[in-house]
Amino acid sequence: MNHDDLVTWSAKAAEWTRDYHKSLRDRPVRPKIAPGEFLAKIEAPVPEQPDPVDAIFDDFTQLVPDAMTHWQHPRFFAYFPGNAAPASMLAEQLANAMAAQAMLWQTAPAANEMEDLTIRWLRDGLGLPADFTGTIHDSATTATFSAVTTMRELALGHEGVTKGLANAPTLRIYASAQTHSSVDKAVRLSGIGQDNLVKVPTIPGHPTWSMDPNALDQLIRDDIAAGLKPAGVVLCVGGTSIGACDLIGECIAVAHAHGLTVHVDAAWAGSAMICEEFRPLWAGIEAADSIVFNPHKWLGAQFDCAVQFLRDPAPQIGAMGLRPDYLKTQGAEDIVNYNEWTLPLGRRFRALKLWFLLRAEGLTGLRTRIRNHVTWSHEAADAIAALKGFEITTPPILSLFSFRFENDAKTAELLDRVNRDGRIYLTQTNHNGSFVIRVQVGQFDCTRDDVMMIPTVLSELSHDL
Ligand SMILES: *Cc1c(COP(=O)(O)O)cnc(C)c1O
């Protein structure tokens, strides 16, 4: 295959892309397929001779889509959305065409400078103060790992990276039980250890299940009295399970009074902050030291794209950055080289899809979608509450709510029926010890009718349960 063939096949791929997206409503959201079934269809010895591209392309169109869960399906209400606006898909194609490696400014100048611009666009779009800078990671997990590693180094006077942790004091990180497992992963892999992640209780009866700032303060004091060393606090805005939001301003005040830095995980909910009316959910955010949100979830910049805002990048560069001889830039040492801000050396040109997306949709277009999703989510929750045997277990926070049907066993059976039916896709979580079903509304092409299909399907599939 050469570059002339690529023109032909790119045109065919573009047509296929359009037809695929237009036919999604006719497909089940999740494939009706058993583990191993797809592999059996493609199993073959490693190709010794070249295959014609049309044979490969045909196999793709005939075998792969039917074996995929369709994240761009308008009735995908599971997990969180993974939106891919057409403008961001186009940008990814162009980034792929250059196939650059953006590890240093000089290896991809436009990519690095566009990263600077799009970070500032998003910072302003989310209403964050002008003294935040930031970078783009592959995932929120990487950003949170970077933030927690930075907390470790701040607590150890930047000696952990050289001396290791063998003779270091026992460090402690604080987060609520509603924070994502990426925080657990970060403390495990940064050497702090799962046992030193202190899960701070939530305020009883709090409407968004906030961590209790007074409990946070007391736990930090107890740890200091016990000879342990507090290193930092991770807060959440829009927790993955039920959308929990910590009282950001109050918790940051406690952390800062103890000299601890704060990382805020707003991986999903951060996108909604382009709408001013949702910003009370993270009131006080301007005092955070680090914030992560995923434009690859609700905002429409296709996977992968996680943005981390930093008040001061220096501590993170101190923790993550390395400059071996072969990466020195000969007289341009003060230019930003984003690989020093994060875990991998190699970096894709991710800013291009943000630049295309924000220009092609405008904040106005993106706000309209997010506002619709929130409105429709409330309507769907009301309709489900009115069905016999159903109970809303957590009301909508932005566009995420949960419900149950009679008891755990029946709720699980209903979820199984729903996902075998295929018209909609929902997933579960545990809330206060109960098996509950989550609903999030956020897919870019969904309409109100798609969303109102949720109560219709639930009513149909529950009546003989
Ligand atoms: C999705 C999510 C994550 C993990 O995001 P990745 O980018 O997949 O690592 C972390 N925290 C929250 C709150 C999330 O919703």
pLDDT in tens, 83-97: 999 999 999 999 999
Q: Last residue of some domain: 348, 370, 399?
A: 348
Instruction: For residue 435, give the nearest of 416, 409, 458 by alpha carbon.
Output: 409
**CATH, residue 45:** 1.20.1340.10
Q: 62 and 182 share a domain?
A: no
**Residue to mutate, 179, 180, 241, 427, ligand 1, most ligand atoms under 8 Å from C-beta:** 180
Kindly report which listed range (105-114, 382-391, 420-429, 435-444) carries the lowest average pLDDT score: 105-114
Ligand 1 atom nearest to 141, measured from its CA: 9
Q: 162 and 39 share a domain?
A: no
pLDDT computed for residue 352 by the predictor? 98
Atom 4 in ligand 1: residue holding the nearest Cα: 140
80 CA → ligand 1 middle, Å: 9
* 209: DSSP letter: -
Instruction: For residue 370, give the nearest of 265, 263, 281 by alpha carbon.
Output: 281
Q: Is 400 in the pocket of ligand 1 (CB under 6 A)?
A: no
pLDDT computed for residue 147 by the predictor? 98
Concatenated DSSP letters for 8-40? HHHHHHHHHHHHHHHTGGGS-SS----TTHHHH
Q: 160 and 226 share a domain?
A: yes
- Name the band, by pLDDT with cuts 50, 70 and 90, for residue 332: low
Does residue 58 have a pLDDT over 90?
yes
144 CA → ligand 1 middle, Å: 9
pLDDT computed for residue 324 by the predictor? 77
* 299: DSSP letter: I
Ligand 1 atom nearest to 296, measured from its CA: 7
Q: 141 and 173 share a domain?
A: yes
Tokens of 179: 């924070």
Per residue in 408-446, pLDDT tens? 999 999 999 999 999 999 999 999 999 999 999 999 999
**In the chain, what percentage of residues exceed pLDDT 90?**
95
Residues 6+ apart with CB under 8 A from 433: none
pLDDT computed for residue 106 by the predictor? 87
Give SS3 for 318. helix
C-beta atoms surrounding 400 within 10 Å: 28
pLDDT computed for residue 331 by the predictor? 59
Does residue 334 have a pLDDT over 80?
no
Ligand 1 atom nearest to 138, measured from its CA: 7
Q: Is the bond preceding 304 in cis, omega lying within 30 degrees of 0? A: yes
Does residue 405 have a pLDDT over 90?
yes
Atom 2 in ligand 1: residue holding the nearest Cα: 267
Residue ranges making up the domain that contains 9: 3-82
Residues 6+ apart with CB under 8 A from 178: 202, 209, 211, 236, 239, 241, 242, 244, 246
The answer to whether 452 and 379 are in contact (CB under 8 A) is: yes
Q: 10 and 106 share a domain?
A: no
Q: Are strands 261-265 and 229-236 parallel, antiparallel or unpaired?
A: parallel
Question: Count H helices, E strands: the chain?
Answer: 14, 11
Mean pLDDT of 75-79: 97
**In the chain, what percentage of residues exceed pLDDT 70?**
99
pLDDT computed for residue 55 by the predictor? 96
The answer to whether 251 and 285 are in contact (CB under 8 A) is: no
pLDDT computed for residue 249 by the predictor? 98
Q: Last residue of some domain: 47, 82, 117?
A: 82
- Name the band, by pLDDT with cuts 50, 70 and 90, for residue 333: low
148 CA → ligand 1 middle, Å: 15
Does residue 322 have a pLDDT over 90?
no
Does residue 328 have a pLDDT over 80?
no
Instruction: For residue 165, give the nearest of 184, 195, 192, 196 by alpha carbon.
Output: 192
Concatenated DSSP letters for 43-67? --PPPSSPPPHHHHHHHHHHHSGGG
Does residue 134 have a pLDDT over 80?
yes
Q: Last residue of some domain: 348, 368, 386?
A: 348
The answer to whether 304 and 350 are in contact (CB under 8 A) is: yes
Q: 195 and 238 share a domain?
A: yes
Give SS3 for 405. strand
Q: What is the mean pLDDT of the chain?
A: 96
Residues 6+ apart with CB under 8 A from 128: 285, 286, 291, 309
Total number of domains in the chain: 2
Instruction: For residue 239, give the nearest of 249, 248, 230 by alpha carbon.
Output: 248
Does residue 202 have a pLDDT over 70?
yes
Per residue in 154-181, pLDDT tens? 999 999 999 999 999 999 999 998 899 9
Does residue 15 have a pLDDT over 80?
yes
Q: 201 and 324 share a domain?
A: yes
Kindly report which listed range (13-22, 278-287, 326-335) carries the lowest average pLDDT score: 326-335
- Asked, for residue 132, whether it belongs to a domain, the answer is yes
Ligand 1 atom nearest to 239, measured from its CA: 13
- Asked, for residue 124, whether it belongs to a domain, the answer is yes
Q: 196 and 74 share a domain?
A: no
Q: 123 and 212 share a domain?
A: yes
Question: Exposed, middle or buried: residue 162 (CB in 10 Å: 0-12, 13-18, 19+)?
Answer: exposed
Q: 12 and 119 share a domain?
A: no
Q: Is 80 in the pocket of ligand 1 (CB under 6 A)?
A: yes
Q: 115 and 65 share a domain?
A: no
Give SS3 for 258. coil
Please, what is the Cα angle at 297 between 71 and 248, to 5 degrees? 145
- Name the band, by pLDDT with cuts 50, 70 and 90, for residue 326: confident
Alpha carbons 245 and 239: distance in angstroms, whole number: 7
Mean pLDDT of 178-203: 96
- Asked, for residue 240, whether it belongs to a domain, the answer is yes
Ligand 1 atom nearest to 236, measured from its CA: 13
Atom 5 in ligand 1: residue holding the nearest Cα: 140
- Asked, for residue 424, whether it belongs to a domain, the answer is no
Number of residues that this document lists for the chain: 465
Ligand 1 atom nearest to 238, measured from its CA: 13
Alpha carbons 105 and 347: distance in angstroms, whole number: 11
Does residue 330 have a pLDDT over 70?
no
Q: 70 and 7 share a domain?
A: yes
Greatest CA separation for the chain: 74
**CATH, residue 145:** 3.40.640.10
The pTM assigned to this predicted structure is 0.96
223 CA → ligand 1 middle, Å: 29
pLDDT computed for residue 325 by the predictor? 75
